[in-house]
Amino acid sequence: MRVLRFDTRVKGFLSRTIMVATTLLDPTQYPLEQIAALCRDRWTVELRIREVKTTLQMEISSGKSEDVIHKEIYMHFIAYNLIRALMWQAAQEHARPLHRLSFAGTVQRLQAVAPCLWLFAGTPKAIQLHTWLLSWIARDMLADRPNRLEPRALKRRLKPYDRLTRPRNEMRTLWLR
């Protein structure tokens, strides 16, 4: 096992020492700087997972059986990959950095245009709509905020009610007693 230690010194942030234990033993093939950069990129991965959970409304599963929940997860990831492919296409056609395009904005624009794309499928109008969609996606650029810190706290206040653990009729009779 190899233990690496590196400092995070970013202007405006507290500096701290991070220790990483790894099985990548060769320091020539896996230099400290490369592993430190991967640790820093981990934050981007966490943001992408949050996109799937919140923007695609995957926080609470509606399935009851394990099979249905698996299908739900697969469908969310298929939708995520299709949206990311659309963002990639917009970034390529309009020379924009992919990581600066808005995922939520892309979802909103796609939801707005999808009925028209379906209506005009196979016609020149659909091609024109697709071109406009890519242009709208490419214009929705996020601000460049390196080393951004996102607090981990709940924004919404949880309701002060008990959970509904039995059928509603049964709970109603319990409350009326």
pLDDT score for 116: 92
91 — pLDDT class (breaks 50, 70, 90): very high
- Over residues 91-115, the mean pLDDT reads 92
DSSP letters, 45-105, are HHHHHHIIIIITT-SS----SHHHHHHHHHHHHHHHHHHHHHHHHHHHHTT--GGGB-HHH
